[in-house]
C-alpha cells in the first residue's frame, strides 16, 4: 500500500482497531479515515453507503464489531448476531460498490467447532457444532467470511479474512461483567490486592486451554497480510501455543503482585475445552508472533494502571 493511500479503519477506538491504527501510523501511513460510532453508525446502511461514496477509501480494515466474553455473549445473543451481521453486510457491500481496492475482515477463532481437532486448521470451519455460549457471534462472523468469499468469486472483490485467537492488550475491556478472560482477571486481581482480599474467584474449573495473542502482534500481522496476501482462504493468526486458564490466572497474579489464593467456581461454564490455532499457513507466508505472554501482560497491566480512573467510571 502506498503511504499516502486513503485507508479506512472501521472500529479504530476498539482494542483491535486502535492497534491497527497505531501500527499503520508507525509504518508511515498518514491518510487514515477514522470515524467514531457517533459520527458513523455502521449498522445504518444508508449512512455507510454515503460515507464510502463521499470518502472513497482505497483500503479498508474492518475491525468494528460487537464483542464480549462468555457472560455477554450468553446474555445478549440478539444484540451480538444482529449488530455484527449489520456491520459486516453494510461495510463489505459499500466498500465493493465504492471501488475499494482491498478489504481485510477480522473474524475470530471462536467460529471453529467446539470440539475441533487441536490445533485448529482453517479447513475445520463448519465441520461440527459451535460452542453454545457464543454461537450467535460465531454465526455472524462466519457470515462475514462467506460474504468476503462470495464477493471475491462473483465480483472479483479483493477481500481477505483473518482469524485471530484470543486477544488482549492496551485498550482492552476490563469490565468484570462482559470483558474477556485476561483483562477481567487483571482487574479482579488488582482490586483484590487493593482491598486486601484473601482470595480471588475465577469462573470455571481452570482446566480449559487458551491461546493468547497480544493485539499489537495481531495488528502487525494484519498489515503484513494486507500487503502480502490476496487469497480466498481464511488465515489463522495466533502464537501457536496455549496455557490453561489456571496457568493464565497464576501469571496474572504474578504480574499484578497479588499475594492471595485463587479459587475456581466450577458452577460457572468453562466454554470450549481447548482453543489453539494451527498457524502453519501464516508461518509459511513469513510471519510469526513476537510478544511473550508475560511481557504482554505486564504491558497491559501498565496501561490498566495509567487509565484506572476512566476504567472505573
Provide φ and ψ at 99, rounded to 5°.
80, 25
pLDDT at 46 over 90: yes
CATH placement of domain 7-172+211-241+275-291: 3.40.50.720
The active-site residue, picked from 8, 112, 137, 168, is 137
pLDDT at 230 over 70: yes
- Quick one: average pLDDT of 49-59? 98
pLDDT at 71 over 80: no
Position 313 scores a pLDDT of 64
For residues 116 and 130, give the distance between their C-alpha atoms in angstroms, rounded to a whole number. 9
- Whether 112 is catalytic: no
- Quick one: average pLDDT of 221-228? 98
pLDDT in tens, 28-42: 999 999 999 999 999
What does the domain layout of the chain look like in residue ranges?
7-172+211-241+275-291
Amino acid at each position: 500500500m502506498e503511504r499516502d493511500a486513503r485507508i479506512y479503519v472501521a472500529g479504530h477506538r476498539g482494542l483491535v482497531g486502535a492497534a491497527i491504527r497505531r501500527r499503520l501510523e508507525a509504518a508511515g501511513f498518514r491518510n487514515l479515515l477514522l470515524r467514531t460510532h457517533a459520527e458513523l453508525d455502521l449498522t445504518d446502511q444508508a449512512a455507510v453507503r454515503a460515507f464510502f461514496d463521499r470518502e472513497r477509501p482505497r483500503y479498508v480494515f474492518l475491525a468494528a464489531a460487537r464483542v464480549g466474553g462468555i457472560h455477554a455473549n450468553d446474555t445478549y445473543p440478539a444484540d451480538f448476531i444482529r449488530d455484527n451481521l449489520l456491520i459486516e453486510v453494510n461495510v463489505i457491500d459499500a466498500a465493493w460498490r465504492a471501488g475499494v481496492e482491498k478489504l481485510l475482515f477480522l473474524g475470530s477463532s471462536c467460529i471453529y467447532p467446539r470440539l475441533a481437532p487441536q490445533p485448529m486448521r482453517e479447513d475445520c470451519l463448519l465441520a461440527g457444532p459451535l460452542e453454545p455460549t457464543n454461537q450467535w457471534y460465531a454465526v455472524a462472523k462466519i457470515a462475514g467470511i462467506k460474504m468476503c468469499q462470495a464477493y471475491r468469486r462473483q465480483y472479483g472483490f479483493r477481500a481477505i479474512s483473518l482469524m485471530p485467537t484470543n486477544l488482549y492488550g492496551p485498550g482492552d475491556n476490563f469490565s468484570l461483567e462482559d470483558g474477556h478472560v485476561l483483562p477481567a482477571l487483571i482487574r479482579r486481581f488488582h482490586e483484590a490486592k487493593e482491598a486486601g482480599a484473601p482470595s480471588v474467584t475465577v469462573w470455571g474449573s481452570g482446566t480449559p486451554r487458551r491461546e493468547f495473542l497480544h493485539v499489537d502482534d495481531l495488528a502487525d500481522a494484519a498489515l503484513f497480510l494486507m500487503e502480502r496476501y490476496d487469497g480466498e482462504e481464511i488465515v489463522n493468526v495466533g502464537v501457536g501455543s496455549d496455557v490453561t486458564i489456571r496457568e493464565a490466572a497464576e501469571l496474572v497474579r504474578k504480574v499484578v503482585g497479588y499475594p492471595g489464593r485463587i479459587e475456581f467456581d466450577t458452577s460457572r461454564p468453562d466454554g470450549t475445552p481447548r482453543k489453539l490455532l494451527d498457524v502453519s499457513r501464516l508461518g509459511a507466508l513469513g510471519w510469526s508472533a513476537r510478544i511473550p505472554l508475560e511481557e504482554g501482560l505486564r504491558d497491559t497491566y501498565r496501561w490498566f494502571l495509567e487509565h484506572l480512573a476512566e476504567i472505573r467510571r
